[in-house]
């Protein structure tokens, strides 16, 4: 997964439309309108144990209630559009797929008492933390200290929210009357993958057209030490 993140191509953002995030959002909305199909895709431990492995990924696209769908899908769609408009469609897709797999694996192995899980919230957590970490790295590289501090505090606040969920079992953004329990482990795993991808992903370097088009770490200060030494010897 880490190799995939490092080698993902960029999308020309001047011509990019957010079709992928909107398509995935429409899938979640359509599934909510077809309860019988949703039931066959949800993360359910017994059917998964019986070989229905597609539920490990598909379960993230089905939801318990309209309120659950509304908040999860709103965040997913907005973040997806932002990712694609920034020219990071394949980074967005990698974040969605990797976080979906890792979250489901963690729920299966680490929370065996969990019988049912639905929703995009864990993937949302991965998308927002990956975006925040990439922005933090750009702020540090450009010397914008105040922005970097604000972003670091926002990331810490996110994990404080997850800690609150673990400690209290309380719901955030969804009413306490909702007929399901929050699964903070999904939010934790999503956030951890987001930080990992955000740290590994290529970020544009100011003043470098190749980096802006997805070429990655072009500034000497962002190259490995051996490359920086070679650049100095070459006069670069």
CATH number of the domain bearing residue 136: 1.20.1540.10
pTM of the model: 0.81
What is the reported pLDDT for 186? 97
Local structure of 169: helix, strand or coil? coil
The answer as to whether 114 is a domain residue is: yes
What is the reported pLDDT for 175? 59
What is the reported pLDDT for 15? 54
Pairing of strands 43-44, 116-117: antiparallel
H helix runs in 201-234, sequence order: 209-210, 225-233
CA distance 9 to 217: 13
Local structure of 180: helix, strand or coil? coil
What is the reported pLDDT for 177? 56
The answer as to whether 52 is a domain residue is: yes
H helix runs in 59-118, sequence order: 66-85, 89-110
Residues sharing a CB contact under 8 Å with residue 137, sequence separation 6 or more, in sequence order: 198, 199, 203
CB neighbour class for 152 (10 Å; exposed up to 12, middle 13-18, buried from 19): middle
What is the reported pLDDT for 116? 95
Instruction: Provide the number of structural domains found in the chain.
Output: 1
The answer as to whether 214 is a domain residue is: no
Residues of the chain with pLDDT under 50: 3-4, 6-7, 14, 207-236
Residue carrying structure tokens 């539920």 = 55
What is the reported pLDDT for 205? 53
Q: Which residues pair with 44 in a beta bridge?
A: 116
Residue-number span of the structural domain to which 86 is assigned: 2-203
The answer as to whether 217 is a domain residue is: no
19: phi then psi, degrees, rounded to nearest 5: -70, -35
Residues sharing a CB contact under 8 Å with residue 177, sequence separation 6 or more, in sequence order: none
117: phi then psi, degrees, rounded to nearest 5: -145, 140
- Residue 55, Cβ neighbours under 10 Å: how many? 19
pLDDT tens readout for residues 103-148: 999 999 999 999 999 999 999 999 999 999 999 999 999 999 999 9
What is the reported pLDDT for 188? 98
Is-contact 205 211, C-beta < 8 A? yes
The answer as to whether 229 is a domain residue is: no
Is-contact 87 60, C-beta < 8 A? no
What is the reported pLDDT for 170? 73
The answer as to whether 227 is a domain residue is: no
The answer as to whether 213 is a domain residue is: no
CA distance 5 to 15: 22
The HSE-up count of residue 123 (CA atoms within 13 Å, CB side) is: 35
Residues sharing a CB contact under 8 Å with residue 94, sequence separation 6 or more, in sequence order: 1, 4, 5, 8, 197
The terminus-to-terminus CA distance of the chain in angstroms comes to 32
The answer as to whether 146 is a domain residue is: yes
């Amino acid at each position: 997964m880490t190799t995939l993140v490092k080698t993902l191509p960029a999308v020309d953002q001047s011509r990019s439309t957010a079709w992928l995030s909107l398509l995935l959002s429409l899938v979640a909305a359509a599934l909510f309108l077809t309860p019988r199909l949703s039931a066959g895709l949800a993360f359910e431990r017994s059917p998964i144990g019986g070989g229905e492995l597609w539920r490990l990924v598909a379960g993230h696209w089905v939801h318990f209630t309209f309120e659950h769908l509304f908040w999860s899908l709103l965040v997913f769609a907005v973040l997806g559009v932002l990712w694609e408009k920034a020219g990071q469609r394949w980074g967005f897709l990698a974040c969605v797929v990797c976080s979906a797999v890792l979250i489901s694996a963690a729920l299966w192995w680490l929370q065996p008492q969990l019988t049912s899980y639905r929703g995009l919230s864990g993937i949302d957590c991965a998308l927002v933390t990956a975006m925040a970490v990439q922005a933090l790295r750009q702020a540090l590289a450009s010397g914008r200290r105040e922005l970097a501090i604000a972003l670091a505090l926002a990331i810490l606040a996110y994990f404080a929210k997850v800690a609150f969920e673990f400690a209290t079992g309380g719901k955030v953004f969804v009413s306490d009357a909702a007929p399901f329990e929050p699964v903070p482990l999904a939010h934790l795993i999503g956030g951890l993958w987001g930080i990992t991808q955000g740290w590994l992903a290529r970020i544009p370097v100011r003043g470098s057209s190749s980096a802006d088009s997805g070429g990655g770490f072009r500034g000497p200060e962002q190259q490995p030490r051996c490359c920086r030494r070679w650049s100095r010897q070459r006069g670069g």
